[in-house]
Amino acid sequence: MTAPAPIRTPARPADTTAPTSTSPGMRVSHIWENRIPGEPTPLTDVQAATTLVLALHTPAGVTVPVAARALEHSEQWVRWELGSLPGVETLGPDLRTGQPRYRVAGPVVTDITLLAGALLALAERDWAQGEHEDELGRVDITGALRLTTNTHPEEQPEDPRALDALLAAEDTLAAALGHDPTQIDAGDTVARWQDHPQRTLDDVRALLLGVLTGTSR
């Protein structure tokens, strides 16, 4: 298989991409039933770079166009970041898009890395309610988390470490929603929240970004 062209560029570009949605700084704990819309706030370069590194630790890895869309930065910026990171390997072309997928060698799979990957999976597939994957290929939060483990959205990961990380990710989201994950079924709680009729993709992104950037409480 022919390796893709080097992704390093001579100098780190200044990113002027305008934000397309969502307030990553929105406080997620009091959005839920009576959602308070927030002004879209782009991720800083540091926040975007950190989220990219986390997503690179998922089994599924990342593609440049999807990372750029999810992080609201340019593809040039994503390529520069990938080229500046040690240990990034090419997994081969994505089966759906043909784009090269990148991942760090020896990924460390945790709840937080899967949540970062889910943010990218939602940017790639779009968001669904009421089912893990709909007829258009859109996914809900659980489906997005499963995709990051290289698992079909309707199935559980076979790798016990990936399954543990996925369940921990659901616990983390339930906690961000104000619940004690030891007292409830975190997966069901997150599903009920995301399937609320007034829920939006902006809300879902705000929840994920709130956890990833440490702004949820």
Is the pLDDT at 12 greater than 90, yes or no? no
Mean pLDDT across the chain, nearest whole number? 83
Is 148 within the bounds of a domain?
yes
Q: pLDDT above 70 covers what percent of the chain? A: 80
Cα distance between residue 163 and residue 128, in whole Å: 22
**195 is a domain residue:** yes
Task: Report whether 79 contacts 26 (CB < 8 A).
Answer: no
In a domain, 136, yes or no: yes
What's the domain count of the chain? 1
Reported as a pLDDT band with limits 50, 70 and 90, residue 27 is: very low
Predicted structure pTM score: 0.81
pLDDT single digits (tens) 39-86: 346 789 999 999 999 999 999 999 999 999 999 999 999 999 999 999
State residue 41's pLDDT score.
65
pLDDT of residue 111: 97
- Six-digit token string for 2: 């022919």
- Lowest mean pLDDT of 49-53, 91-95, 170-174, 200-204, name the range: 91-95
Kindly report the CA angle at 144 between 184 and 187, in degrees rounded to 5? 10
Q: Is the pLDDT score of 8 beyond 60?
A: no
Mean pLDDT of 79-105: 92
> Is 38 a member of any domain?
no
pLDDT above 90 as % of the chain: 74
Contacts of 66 (CB under 8 A, 6+ apart): 99, 120, 123, 124
User: 166 in a domain, yes or no?
Assistant: yes
Q: Note whether residue 31 is domain-resident.
A: no
pLDDT band at 215 (very low <50, low <70, confident <90, very high): low
In this predicted structure, what is the pLDDT of residue 35?
Answer: 39
Residues spanned by the domain of 122: 43-213
Let me know the angle formed at the C-alpha of 151 by 93 and 165, rounded to the nearest 5 degrees: 115
Q: Give the model confidence (pLDDT) of 132-186 as tens digits.
A: 999 999 999 999 999 999 999 999 999 999 999 999 999 999 999 999 999 999 9
97: confidence class by pLDDT, cuts 50, 70, 90: confident
In a domain, 188, yes or no: yes
